[in-house]
Amino acid sequence: MNIERFDDEHALAEALATRVLQAILVNPALVLGLPTGRTPLALYRELRERSAIDWSGVRTFNLDEFAGLAGDHPGSYRAFMQAELFDHVSIRPENIGMLDGRAPDLRAECRRYEAAIAACGGIDLQILGIGANGHIGFNEPADGLCAHTHIAELEQQTREANAQRFGGDWTAVPERALSMGMATILGARNIVMIATGAEKAEAVRAMVEGLITTQVPASFLQVHRRVDVMLDDDASRLLTL
């Protein structure tokens, strides 16, 4: 894992936005894996501000989506992505890959997503956040992890972390979600993990310096050959390496 430290989340976001936009310039048909949450907000702000870049050939796949929510529900990740990025850049709607949390057959929806990623030739650059519990996507700490896109039961901590978009009420956050699996994520050719803030420091330490364990799903990134971990000072403060 290649560790990169930044003074603050803005410096990190600027550097990552530059990397994403350069990747698009080099490969206008870039296949980009995208996260939601608090951490990538600064990145999406940077990308919006540099929206002159041509996104019309870019394809995206988001990591996850809540089960049972329509795309226009304000708590859905589809709504988040439209507001934070997709409505502001020249990406074609048909090139946006999102899981449909309202699909009548959620297992079939998971299979459709895997096939859609494969049909694009796989993900070139996957951007990831990390949960304070070490999750990536909605791959929560467990005795075993799913390889492929699947229906995930969410931990209370994860639902609490998402409560802000549900009127502050964590019980209103869906109990289930659809998520890329570990093999879906690790199948990306390049991975950039971003983490900011002291509340991520322990998860970052476990991801980078701990043993590989299903109790810290992000620790599996250690087996991937091309992972850059971009951290602010607070998130990196427990690293000893």
Q: Answer yes or no whether residue 37 interacts with ligand PGA by CB under 6 A.
A: yes
CA distance 5 to 235: 9
Instruction: Let me know if 228 is a catalytic residue.
Output: no
Which residues are bridge partners to 195 per DSSP?
A: 231
Terminus-to-terminus CA distance in the chain, angstroms? 11
Considering the complex, state which of residue 36 and residue 95 has its C-beta at the smaller distance from ligand PGA.
Answer: 36
Q: Does the footprint of ligand PGA cover residue 141 (CB under 6 A)?
A: no
**Encoded tokens for 153:** 């039961």
Closest residue (Cβ) to ligand PGA?
A: 37
User: Does the protein bind ligand PGA through residue 75 (CB under 6 A)?
Assistant: no
Query: Would you call 133 a catalytic residue per the annotation?
Result: yes
**Residue 38: CB minimum distance to ligand PGA, A:** 4
CA distance 90 to 239: 39
CA torsion sign for 88, 8, 4, 164 is negative
Is residue 39 a contact residue for ligand PGA (CB under 6 A)?
Answer: yes
Q: Tell the residue number behind the tokens 């690790």, with chain if given.
A: 186
Q: How far is the CB of 54 from ligand PGA (least distance, A)?
A: 28
Considering only residues 18, 28, 29, 38, which one is a binding residue for ligand PGA as defined by CB under 6 A?
38
Q: Is 72 a catalytic residue?
A: no
Binder among 131, 174, 181, 217 for ligand PGA (CB under 6 A): 131
Total binding residues toward ligand PGA, as defined by CB under 6 A: 8
Picking from 1, 131, 139, 6, the residue whose alpha carbon sits closest to that of residue 63 is 139
Distances (CA, A) of 25 to 56, 57, 188: 12, 10, 19
Binding site for ligand PGA (CB under 6 A): 35, 37-39, 129-131, 161
